[in-house]
Chains A and B, each alone.
Chain A
Amino acid sequence: MISRWMAYLQYQWGASLDPSGRVDAYSSWSAQLQGSERWWMLLEGTHVLTLMLFAGTILFVDLRLLGLALPKVPISRVTRALLPYTVAGFALMIITGLLVYFSKPFDYYHNFAFRVKVVFLLAAAANIFIFHGRVQASQAQWDANPLPPLAARRSAAASLLLWLLVIAAGRCMAYDRFTCAEAGPVIGALADCEGQQATLAAIEPEVAL
């Protein structure tokens, strides 16, 4: 079902019909974004830069939580100073990331590295909720401590590791061996490449690919 929706987004949404009455997949909005060389380059370049703004600033927040940076400055002051930049970076990263995804939603949905990236993103989000819900509840007691409690340090370490894995998985999306075109049996099964073929066969009568 999701595969079919993604195929619609990539090949059919906004597309015109060719002379034979079939959908011209190359005219879809998704294909136009991918083909608009200048916009595409600006979008991808901005996505990489927002990564640096987001991950580069969260690094120092996490280092303070680990007790490895600015031990004399209360944690609340460090987060208040840096988090606006982290949040701005995150918002831009999500917006540009969604637009990059929209350029090839069907291909990315069946990309093993993308699926791994989503898992790590969800884990990173869960870590943030756990930190805010449980760990931060008692922050007033250890805010000025050079070395925060173990739960806070554990959460900061998990944050660093998970964002590192998100970036690494994102980079792997560009490698052919994680796409259905070159995937081996295990990666092919995890990326549901059979499902991809089934979707392509199902839309073939109405879409000129």
Chain B
Amino acid sequence: MSELAIITFRNSVPGAQELAETIAHNPTIQALNQTVWAFSLVEISHLLFLVLLGGATLVLALRTLGLTLTEASVQDVESLTRPWLRVGTIGGSASGIFMSIATALTLVANGAFFIKILALAAAVLFSFALAGRLRGSSKGVVQATLGLIALAYALWLFASTRGLNTGAMLVGAVSAAFLLLAATGRLRGQDDGAADRLSQWLAIGTVVAWLTVTIAGRWIGFS
């Protein structure tokens, strides 16, 4: 695959650079940047919220695919994981916004950050669509389609951008392992009582999207 020039918010969203400069030159933000302990605390919280989010997403996806907790209904597992998904998403986003504001000038020119935000949009769309369907809604096709477009674009950028494609390799390897697990479960006939086919694909999409968010986030630090 030919490698692309890095796509970032600076070179793809008009006004993004000016906004980042305004944020970076704000005296309150500058003071925030000097407060080392506050920034560290937020970084640690961000990781802990991600762990919550990852665990809740994985458990719900595995149950949707009939691969764990089959003693409980998918609705019960959805209710169980819902508060943790919300805490993880809200806490992860709040701490992420804090970190983004404090490092706006760096992030606006960072390709991995652009990919992370795209994948985040996909992950949120998939998660909402999956939760809605497991609660009895027959909708979700539009959210799933939009999520798929955002995720496909994020993964294409990840795989074809110089310096970032190792991250895409990791997403690919872990996603393949997860798909294999899902397929093995189906072959074993363990999906009795599991959700409908679209919900199962949404569960897989949710895991791949959150994986991409996490790995792209780590690659912000590497790039």
What is the interface of chain A, defined by CB distance below 8 A to chain B?
A: 37-38, 41-42, 44-46, 48-49, 51-53, 55-57, 59-60, 63, 69-70, 72-74, 77-78, 81-82, 85, 164, 167-168, 171-172, 175, 177
Assuming A70-B80, A167-B51, is B68 touching A81 (CB within 8 A)?
yes
Across the interface, which residues of B come within 8 angstroms of A45, CB to CB? 167, 170, 215, 218-219
Q: In the complex, how many angstroms separate the beta carbon of B53 from the nearest chain A beta carbon?
A: 8
Q: In the complex, how many angstroms separate the beta carbon of B103 from the nearest chain A beta carbon?
A: 15
Across the interface, which residues of B come within 8 angstroms of A164, CB to CB? 48
**Once the chains bind, are B52 and A59 in contact (CB under 8 Å)?**
yes
B:16-59 near A, CB below 8 Å: 36, 40, 43-44, 47-48, 50-52, 54-59
B128 within 8 A of A: no
Q: In the complex, how many angstroms separate the beta carbon of A33 from the nearest chain B beta carbon?
A: 15
B192 within 8 A of A: no
**Once the chains bind, are A59 and B71 in contact (CB under 8 Å)?**
no
- 8 Å CB contact of B55 from A46, A56, A77, A171: A56
Across the interface, which residues of A come within 8 angstroms of B47, CB to CB? 48, 167-168, 171
- 8 Å CB contact of B69 from A46, A55, A73: A73
**Once the chains bind, are B51 and A51 in contact (CB under 8 Å)?**
yes
Query: 20 more A-B contacts (CB under 8 A) besides A49-B211, A73-B69?
Result: A37-B166, A38-B166, A41-B219, A42-B169, A45-B218, A46-B170, A48-B214, A48-B218, A49-B54, A49-B215, A52-B50, A52-B55, A59-B51, A59-B84, A60-B59, A73-B71, A78-B71, A81-B71, A167-B44, A172-B44
* Residue of A38, A49, A78 most packed against chain B (CB within 10 A): A49
CA distance A56 to B49 in the complex (A): 10
Q: In the complex, how many angstroms separate the beta carbon of B205 from the nearest chain A beta carbon?
A: 17
